Amino acid sequence: MHYSLFGEKLSARSGILELMKDLGEALESPGKVRMLGGGNPAHLPEVNALWRRRMTEILANRDEFEHMVADYDSPRGKAAFLSEVAALLRREYGWEIGPENVAITNGSQSAFFYLFNMLAGAHADGGFRRILCPVVPEYIGYADQGAEPGMFRGAVPQIEELGPHGFKYRVDFDSLEVDEQTGAICVSRPTNPTGNVLTDTEVKHLASIAEQHGIPLLVDNAYGMPFPGIIFTDAAPVWRPNIVLSMSLSKLGLPSVRTGIVVADAEIVERLSGVNAVISLANGSLGQVLTRPLFEDGSILTLAKDVIRPFYRTRAERAQAAVSRAFGSDIDYAVHLCEGSIFLWIWFRSLSISTRELYARLKERGVIVVPGEYFFFGLEEDWPHSRQCIRVNYCHDEQAFRDGIEIIGEEARRAQGGRG
Ligand code: PLP
């Protein structure tokens, strides 16, 4: 079989594929594997009960179920849903947006595929533009999304050390290079994998730099405010006409309904829905129909604030306590300041092996983590730090998490350049 360059590139063994396969295998063999790897959000009984109730209402309402499953949605999303989303964000944050600024996609993952390939790669003027990630490590799911090779450029951040076992990445504005080959700047906030939340000042600064260059700033708000609200700082979402803000229903507890929500300048929204029509024809309606009343009455805000955020905040605190208990003082490690997301990002400074090797040893012992290497894409120079970090998901079974962390501690000690 002969595959095209596009086919080769997108179907090659990618980090995201490995991650999703591990996740699938772990779900099929519950109990055998301590799954600290995937990006699945937690099942919160109160939240699941809400979706069940909504489904019952939809089934009971005359024709609502039939419209939901038996009609194609428009490529931009349901008009009523777009209006509710715009109205909620206008009420909450005073943004001057209307339904023309909102587009729905089949998951925000698809939105990024469209956006990256719309804004980067070969251009009609003969130029080749790239997506700049100003803080790498960045979300593994972007790394293989370019239809052409070399579409990402990553920038090494500053590392602020916070005591013996903590640190935080900060945008290194002094060495950030934005030029005519930059098609867009992109950050996830809160960041997957690190739990970092760029400050409002950092975001505004990035937006101004992007504006000076006539390019958009893509902000991936999959974990942020106002929903799902898995963010533990006061950072507010920022939107301006040159910011493309992506949101998702996934971490609200609906990963399987595949609903991404993009807020952007009307021209980008129009083009995005054009791409959506070509690739997907239409969006799945389920997520929009399930959640529309929550946007209408604002209860999506209280759900995020009163149910989702406290759950993850408590879990994140307990997970960090479990790490410090298990690792003690003889492992040379630091955990990234956990300001949001469903992960802890752990840096082993004195590891004598790569974290890919550590991942393999842990998998042998029934613990799945994600090795950090995959998250460092687009860098021009080798950075040893990229082989010293792992991502763990803290939001599932707590006993499995504690057991997994114990085993990670044992393997890290063993692999610690003779120090442990
Ligand atoms: N962006 C980030 C930062 C993510 O972590 C994820 C999923 O884990 C996505 C985007 C994609 O989410 P979805 O396609 O489910 O909306």
Whether 280 is in a domain gets the answer yes
Q: Examine the domain organization and report whether 10 and 90 are in the same domain.
A: no
277 and 344, same domain (yes or no): no
Residue 159's pLDDT band (boundaries 50, 70, 90)?
Answer: very high
In this structure, the answer to whether residues 281 and 312 fall within a common structural domain is no
Q: Among residues 245, 266, 298, which one ends one of the domains? A: 298
For residue range 44-98, list pLDDT tens digits in order.
999 999 999 999 999 999 899 999 999 999 999 999 999 999 999 999 999 999 9
From the list 414, 345, 369, 320, the residue with the least C-alpha distance to 34 is 369
pLDDT bracket for residue 15 (50, 70, 90): low
Distance 377 CA to ligand 1 centre (A): 17
Cα 120 to ligand 1 centre (Å) = 20
Measure 260 CA to ligand 1 centroid, in angstroms. 9
- Are 321 and 190 within one domain? no
Residue 160 three-state SS: strand
Where residue 14 falls among pLDDT bands split at 50, 70, 90?
Answer: low
CATH number at residue 360: 3.90.1150.10
Q: Which two tokens stand for residue 109?
A: 């993952």
Higher pLDDT, 28 or 191: 191
> Token pair of 175, please?
């060495």
Number of domains, the chain: 2
Instruction: Quick: pLDDT tens for 356-393.
Output: 999 999 999 999 999 999 999 999 999 999 999 999 99
d(C-alpha 100, C-alpha 98), whole Å: 5
Peptide bond into 310 cis (omega under 30): no
Q: Do 11 and 134 have their domain in common?
A: no
In a domain, 60, yes or no: no
**Interval between CA 258 and ligand 1 midpoint (Å):** 10
Question: How far does the centroid of ligand 1 lie from the alpha carbon of residue 124, in Å?
Answer: 30
Angle at 414 between CA 409 and CA 418, to 5 degrees: 125
Closest atom of ligand 1 relative to the 139 alpha carbon: 3
Shared domain for 270 and 228, answered yes or no, is yes
The token duo for 43 is 């099942």
- Please give the pLDDT value at position 24: 73
In a domain, 56, yes or no: no
Find the 139 Cα to ligand 1 centroid distance in Å.
8
Task: Look up tokens 């700047």; give the residue.
Answer: 185
Q: Are residues 333 and 292 in the same domain?
A: no
pLDDT band at 11 (very low <50, low <70, confident <90, very high): confident
**Is 208 part of a structural domain of the chain?**
yes
Mutation to probe ligand 1, out of 106, 139, 196, 227 (largest number of atoms < 8 A from CB):
139
Q: Tell which of 298, 327, 343 closes a domain.
A: 298
Q: Based on the domain organization, do 166 and 252 belong to the same domain?
A: yes
In a shared domain, residues 272 and 324: no
* 3-class secondary structure per residue, 50-102: HHHHHHHHHHHCCCHHHHHHHCCCCCCCCHHHHHHHHHHHHHHHCCCCCHHHE
Bond into 216 cis (ω within 30) = no
The answer to whether residue 62 sits within a structural domain is: no
For residue 275, the model assigns a pLDDT of 97
**CA-249 nearest atom, ligand 1:** 16
> What does the alpha-carbon distance between residue 166 and residue 131 come to, in Å, rounded to a whole number?
29
Q: Which atom of ligand 1 sits closest to the CA of residue 259?
A: 16
Domain of residue 411: give its range: 5-47+303-415
Please choose from 16, 106, 109, 393 the residue to mutate so as to test ligand 1's pocket, defined by most ligand atoms within 8 A of CB. 109
Atom of ligand 1 nearest to the CA of 192: 3
248 CB near ligand 1 (under 6 Å): yes
Is the distance from the beta carbon of residue 107 to the nearest atom of ligand 1 less than 6 Å? Answer: yes
Where do we find the tokens 């499953």?
A: 69
Tell me, in angstroms, the distance from the centre of ligand 1 to residue 403's CA.
Answer: 27
For residues 88-117, give the mean pLDDT. 97
| CATH number of the domain enclosing 147 | 3.40.640.10
Q: How far is the CA of 307 from the centre of ligand 1 (A)?
A: 20
Instruction: Verify whether ligand 1 is closer than 6 Å to residue 259 (CB atom).
Output: no
For a pocket test of ligand 1, which of 20, 110, 197, 220 has the largest count of ligand atoms closer than 8 A to its C-beta?
220
Q: Which of 268, 298, 328 is the last residue of a domain?
A: 298
Cis peptide before 99 (omega within 30 of 0): no
Domain assignment present for 55: no
Residue 354 Cα to ligand 1 middle (Å): 26
Buried/exposed 372-381: b ≥16 CB within 10 Å, e otherwise: bbbbbbbbee
292 and 364 housed in the same domain? no
Rounded CA gap, 86 and 263, in Å?
A: 8
Buried b (16+ CB within 10 A) or exposed e, 90-106: eeeeebebebebbbbbb
Q: Note the pLDDT tens digit of each residue in 162-178.
A: 999 999 999 999 999 99
For residues 186 and 284, state if they share a domain: yes
Position 106 pLDDT exceeds 60: yes
Decide if 221 is inside a domain.
yes
Residue 215 domain flag: yes
Q: Distance from the CA of 109 to the center of ligand 1, in angstroms?
A: 6
Q: Are residues 369 and 411 in the same domain?
A: yes
SS3 (DSSP) at 238:
coil
Please give the share of the chain, as a percent, with pLDDT higher than 70.
Answer: 96
Q: Is the CB of 40 under 6 A from ligand 1?
A: no
Residue 121 pLDDT > 50, yes or no?
yes
264-301: b (≥16 Cβ within 10 Å) or e: bbeebbebbbebbeeebebbbbbbbbbbbebbeeeebb
Q: Is 108 in the pocket of ligand 1 (CB under 6 A)?
A: yes
List phi, psi (to 5°) of 130: -120, 160
pLDDT for the residue numbered 419: 43
